[in-house]
Structure 1
Amino acid sequence: MLKRSILAFTLLGVLSGCSLDGDDGKVGAQGPVGQTGAAGQNGTAGADGKDANALLEIKLIGRAVLNSESPEGAAEIVAYHAAKQWIYAINSSGEKAVVNIIPASEFDTSALTKNSEGVVTNTNLTSVITLELHTHTPGDANSIAIDENNQLLAVAMAAKPKTNKGQVAFYDISGATPVFIKNVEVGALPDMVTFSHDGKKVVVANEGEPSDDYSVDPEGSISVIDIENAEIANTATQIGFSAYNSKQAELESKGVVFANPAGRTINGNAINTSVAMDLEPEYVTISKDNRFAYVSIQENNALAVVDLADNSVELMPLGFKDWSSYKLDASDKDGGLNLRSYPGLYGMYQPDTIANYTWKGANFIVTANEGDGREYFFDAESEADCNAKGGLDYDKDDGCLAYTDESRVKKLALAHNFAYLNNDDNDIGRLKVTTVKGDADKDGLYEELYTYGARSFTIWDSSGQVVFDSGDQIERITASVHGSAFNNDEDTNEGDTRSDAKGPEPEALALGKIGDRTFAFVGLERMGGVMVYDISNPYNVTFSDYFYNRGTVEGADISGDLAPEGMAFIPAEKSATGEALLVIGNEISGSIAVWQISEK
């Protein structure tokens, strides 16, 4: 269905923070959470913007599908060029990555009709320019950014193999079509690129993932490229984490998570992984005053704070979310909606997309807490070949398992404090957790369990204190709206399929002002919907709305916009409609969706 609005309500309480010098980084309880009501049935789509209780009027006004024959990967990361009112979108659905450019100046909404489920599947926007990235820069495109100051486009290009250094490709976008300027070398696997607000710096998060057999593990890093008088520097400043190589134990005690595969020999290669190799920067946001770059380090459950005045860097551990204070559905095999609390279970926040804003002159960081485990496979001819090469397991489709930190709880031996639960498919047994934390005394029994992501979004202050967390609201709201279809996967209509693995999986995130209020838009990778929260005051956050364009009827072919991967918020003064727009790149459906958002 196209859109469902929920009554706005104030989320209860304010979380206590996780101290940088605390013992274990666990976050205190938010306070009592009300009982979850019974799941409702799937409703029918209402008229856009007609919910009298909604704070905002939200309607789908534009849609494009970039590759209808092979949509997956055709619309991932999006950016907006205000000077021309063009949408730029990375398209990786073919053999060679391109950027599609889509005019967003006219919207014939009469072309967007709904099917029998109330879902829009047709289009009214078309790509008019295809930028062939491979012409000047080999590799895979991971991220794009636009600077209106100097009329520049930056594209983060990962090398092949991914363990080699990548590049940022720059284009002049002031003319009728983009014109290539230069490549600037950065770190391994550049995953996200952004400009400072004044256009004087480009900051890149280089994830530095290991090779599939762990034979090469480049250091994760952050690259800073200076721009002076519209001239792009030929080389980047590389910021690494080698200063933390002797501090792993200290970081772990404060909530940073490490894979710890060192000491094994895989495919003939001895693994010796340092802290700097293990840290994997993911996403960058730059403070309004251009002083600080905040970088999510997803798999490690941390943020890096870069002072752009001197390029110094500090790690900010994120700690853990206590699932004894909230409720989640931990199993995809328990017959439906079963939300409950679990003493001894903690969530690693592990944010993907992050953003920031100011309140009372102070910086606040907003994170979409997706979660992510590590799993690497390499080629092997057979199970015997895999075993001989030091692999952990063999799968005829995936190959030889070099490393994973994932396990289902039922495969672990639990300590006596978990005697209150049944370690089976009907309870917590199906839940995926990490094996690198929880058995502190190394006796083979897990006294604590740590699962991936927090099924929430969080607001942090600049010292790493939790100011607000949405708790279990996302899972509860989607369960109420979608009924038995809650926790659907991104490419199938089988409800409850993602309960064992990060639930609705908040991944995409954008902040924007509507009138005099600041809103957070949180995209759910699996359900395909977007949560809207009024975060104008970070200490008084309210839930505002929920909208989506996806079919959810169980057993029916999946349709609509699937797996929001990237978002761009367009303020009203830069929009062709005179109202704010939210542009969403949907990775699985290969679609670009443009939603108009205005005050009621």
Structure 2
Amino acid sequence: MPLTRITLTSLLALTASLGSAQEMAFNRIASFPVASNSDGAEETSSEIISASGDGMVLAYSDSPLGVVGFVDISDAADPQPLGTIAVGGEPTAVSILGNTAFVGVNTSASYTEPSGKLEVYDIETMSEVASCDLGGQPDSTAIAPDGSFIAVAIENERDEDLGDGRVGQLPGGYVALIGIDDGMLDCGGLIRANVSGLAEIAPDDPEPEFVDINSLGETVVTMQENNHIVVLNRDGSVASHFSAGSVDLTGIDGTDEQAALIFDEAQPGRLREPDGVQWIDDMHIAIANEGDMDGGSRGWTILSESGELVYESGADFEHAIVQIGHYPDRRSDAKGVEPEGMEFAIFGETPFVFLLAERASVVGVYDVTDPAAPVLTQLLPSGIAPEGAIAIPGRNLFVTANEADLGEDGAARSHVMIYEFAEGTASYPQITSEGADDLIGWAALSGLAADLDNPGTLYAVNDSFFGYQPTIFTIDASQTPARITDATVVTRGGRPAQKLDMEGLALDGDGGFWIASEGRTDRMIPHGIYHVGSDGEIDAEIPFPAELLAVEQRFGAEGITLIGNTLWIALQREWADDADNTAKLVAYNLDTEEWGAVSYPKTEPATGWVGLSEITAHGDYVYLIERDNQIGGNAVTKQITRVALSEMVPAPLGGDLPVVSPEVVRDLMGDLASTGGYVVDKVEGLAIEADGTAWVVTDNDGVDDSSGETLFWSFAVE
């Protein structure tokens, strides 16, 4: 296919932060696939992460491989693998002091016989220099700011398959405090700090989770299952302890799974059950309320060192995530976005808390200059399931470790992601529902269409991920970021329509819409075309004809456009009568009710398959999206093509079809990589305004086995 030049009018880095434009912003500059530190064939994971004293080397724990991995970030925008060290067990945490890495290693034979060690490695030589028996199963580690000692949370976690997964399964955990002298551990002087008998919940079975140390040498530890927090003196004595308490949550999504985003329920008295914890000064701690057994308040909290409540986010953090399309609907009946890890650092003169939402794959960046009134300044896109983070203020860097490795062909792998704090505005989100009159939940955008009479006004639909909430979204693309201003549920008989898989959208010119439903006959979802009024009600249904259904395959309609009195529908892939690497562009004449088609030759796939994701008419052409089903380094084909209208002459179905001649007009690979993340697979929507401004949107799969990122950008077609 010949390449046709496109004039660029805007790049992906179009958008500002959630609030007003700021002089400095965190933006992602690189993503490191953890599999590149191994042969790439096995499951890998980056979980807890730390940095060398000079900020040039990262170390992360990789539980599946039983190693600690190292990354060279001397050029932060181009991280390079440095290899791994096998640690003789399951690494649970890593902390670095200078060029010495301290690794917590779980060697437990069973839940009732927990054991572990603290391994010490020289980063430069990649060799072991010391080992310390911990006497139990370690979880997190933290090094004192002055480097004088290390704290290790000895969780001795319970067997969740016994006793209904409750605490009360001995042996209980404790906190190990070990002195450090010139980089060497004083194993003989290990202090076993007793935290039993303090919590109201299972006091005899404490399960220390996360630790952090302030400048006074005080160690704070969360006991998530016990819903309790303890502050220890350097000698292991208890300075203070208190319940993490509970929150009355309102405005949360339904706790009964219903494949819809409806934020009208409440959970009174929801236990916080914190996981991550950070000192933000010597008097205040911040906790991430992930939850485990009976809790998880979906947000975060600031408390004084003696337990007084200073700040509570409630559902605000989750609502901000909802607005950028990252809400994980399938976790609504559990713990929502699941805030888990945390980091605190001062960049310039501004103290920041970085809050990791594991299930939303988002990092909230809060200015905590006033601990009683934190300000959410940004939401950063991360890989799937951010588990750990490290700030490197001396280099203006922030790094996340994202543990999920889906490990399948074409699926996302575990990544370490690197962000830089620099002058400029935030490049993410690129589309948001912030500012709407009501809280609008959205995700899984597929079809896209432009209102040719109203510049900057677009419409999008979600796909079958939200089976109980098929929705047409109104988008104001004249703002930066683009704003979802309204949401109209598609109904049948006044109720949300069922058995739809909306993948294509076109305006009818009279205030209504044409929708193409992909269809899944194995799920009783029919292939078809639907007409929807401005109120969202379906008033006409046009099923696919028998000639098409006779050769039906799963991968059906992926786009629809209106040319004159004819609807054109792009089928994603080959049906039974198509030649290899071809797909049908199907025509339906609204006046004569006749069906026809032409044959579209697709690009040969390098790996997996290539299909069509959209069709839209503009000028003398129809424009289409061609994409493969690959992610990251495996992705090859993500492009816009076009076919001259003069070739769009349909022939009757069931016979030989004329073959059109597509030409490539834009390779999207650079666009998809321009935000520093890995290339996503599902480029799903394309709309072209009257002036030739083309808009593209990606489908985030409802944040299910996905990073949740939705990219939305524009360029001009000639």
TM beyond 0.5: yes
**Residue in structure 2 matched with residue 500 of structure 1 by the alignment:** 333
Alignment of 1:5-154 (within 5 A): 46-47=12-13, 50-51=16-17, 53-55=20-22, 56-67=24-35, 69=40, 73-83=44-54, 85-94=56-65, 97-108=66-77, 124-134=78-88, 139-148=89-98, 151-154=99-102
**Residue in structure 2 matched with residue 282 of structure 1 by the alignment:** 209
8 A Cα contact 2:146 2:215, kept in partner: no
Q: Supply the AA of the counterpart residue of 2:131.
A: N
**Residue in structure 2 matched with residue 16 of structure 1 by the alignment:** none
Q: Which of 274, 278, 282 is matched with 1:355 structurally?
A: 278
Q: Which of 454, 461, 483 is matched with 2:304 structurally?
A: 461
Q: Give 3-state SS (helix, strand or coil) of 1:234's partner.
A: strand
8 A Cα contact 1:71 1:590, kept in partner: no
8 A Cα contact 2:53 2:97, kept in partner: no
Alignment of 1:190-201 (within 5 A): 190-201=138-149
Q: Supply the AA of the counterpart residue of 1:88.
A: A
**Residue in structure 2 matched with residue 552 of structure 1 by the alignment:** none
Shift of the 533–309 alpha-carbon distance from structure 1 to 2, 3 Å rule, reads same
Q: Supply the AA of the counterpart residue of 1:209.
A: E
- Identity score, percent: 26
Distance in structure 2 (CA, Å) of the matches to 1:45 and 1:500? 38
The root-mean-square deviation of aligned C-alpha atoms, in Å, is 2.4
**Residue in structure 1 matched with residue 252 of structure 2 by the alignment:** 328
Distance in structure 2 (CA, Å) of the matches to 1:48 and 1:86? 31
| 1:489-545 per-position Cα deviation (integer Å, ceiling 9, x unaligned) | xxxxxxx11111111111121112222111111111011011111111102321211
8 A Cα contact 2:108 2:136, kept in partner: no
8 A Cα contact 2:224 2:273, kept in partner: yes
Distance in structure 1 (CA, Å) of the matches to 2:334 and 2:43? 21
Q: Give 3-state SS (helix, strand or coil) of 1:300's partner.
A: coil
**Residue in structure 2 matched with residue 364 of structure 1 by the alignment:** 284
8 A Cα contact 2:153 2:208, kept in partner: yes
The structural deviation recorded for 1:216 is 6.5
The structural deviation recorded for 1:45 is 8.7
8 A Cα contact 1:187 1:223, kept in partner: no
The structural deviation recorded for 1:206 is 0.6
Distance in structure 1 (CA, Å) of the matches to 2:21 and 2:359? 24
Shift of the 310–209 alpha-carbon distance from structure 1 to 2, 3 Å rule, reads closer
Q: Which has the higher contact order (CA 8 A, sep 6+)?
A: 1
**Residue in structure 2 matched with residue 525 of structure 1 by the alignment:** 358
Distance in structure 2 (CA, Å) of the matches to 1:346 and 1:502? 14
Distance in structure 1 (CA, Å) of the matches to 2:33 and 2:366? 28
Distance in structure 1 (CA, Å) of the matches to 2:31 and 2:14? 16
Distance in structure 1 (CA, Å) of the matches to 2:210 and 2:104? 12
**Residue in structure 2 matched with residue 570 of structure 1 by the alignment:** 392
Alignment of 1:342-421 (within 5 A): 342=266, 345-358=268-281, 362-373=282-293
| 1:461-488 per-position Cα deviation (integer Å, ceiling 9, x unaligned) | 1110110111211221122221xxx432
**Residue in structure 1 matched with residue 179 of structure 2 by the alignment:** 226
Q: Give 3-state SS (helix, strand or coil) of 2:320's partner.
A: helix
| 1:155-191 per-position Cα deviation (integer Å, ceiling 9, x unaligned) | 0011132532211111233xx3232122211142100
Q: Supply the AA of the counterpart residue of 1:103.
A: D
8 A Cα contact 1:514 1:599, kept in partner: no
Distance in structure 2 (CA, Å) of the matches to 1:351 and 1:518? 21
Distance in structure 1 (CA, Å) of the matches to 2:256 and 2:42? 27
Q: Does 1:583 align with 2:405?
A: no
Quick check: which has more Rg, 1 or 2? 2
Distance in structure 1 (CA, Å) of the matches to 2:157 and 2:356? 25
Aligned residues: 394
**Residue in structure 2 matched with residue 155 of structure 1 by the alignment:** 103
8 A Cα contact 1:474 1:504, kept in partner: no
8 A Cα contact 1:305 1:316, kept in partner: no
Q: Supply the AA of the counterpart residue of 1:563.
A: A
| 1:356-404 per-position Cα deviation (integer Å, ceiling 9, x unaligned) | 122xxx511011111112xxxxxxxxxxxxxxxxxxxxxxxxxxxxxxx
Distance in structure 2 (CA, Å) of the matches to 1:509 and 1:45? 31
Q: Supply the AA of the counterpart residue of 1:53.
A: S
Q: Which of 228, 240, 260 is matched with 2:194 structurally?
A: 240
Q: Supply the AA of the counterpart residue of 2:126.
A: P
Distance in structure 1 (CA, Å) of the matches to 2:423 and 2:355? 18
8 A Cα contact 2:55 2:392, kept in partner: no
Q: Give 3-state SS (helix, strand or coil) of 2:252's partner.
A: coil
Q: Supply the AA of the counterpart residue of 1:487.
A: Y
Distance in structure 2 (CA, Å) of the matches to 1:521 and 1:72? 27
4+ aligned runs moved over 6 Å, structure 1 = none
The structural deviation recorded for 1:311 is 3.4
Alignment of 1:546-557 (within 5 A): 546-549=379-382
TM-score (norm 2): 0.52
Shift of the 503–230 alpha-carbon distance from structure 1 to 2, 3 Å rule, reads closer
The structural deviation recorded for 1:218 is 1.3
Distance in structure 2 (CA, Å) of the matches to 1:71 and 1:351? 32
Q: Does 1:474 align with 2:317?
A: yes
Q: Structure 2 unaligned segments of length 5 or more: list them.
A: 1-9, 405-412, 425-718
Shift of the 241–310 alpha-carbon distance from structure 1 to 2, 3 Å rule, reads closer
Distance in structure 1 (CA, Å) of the matches to 2:170 and 2:418? 39
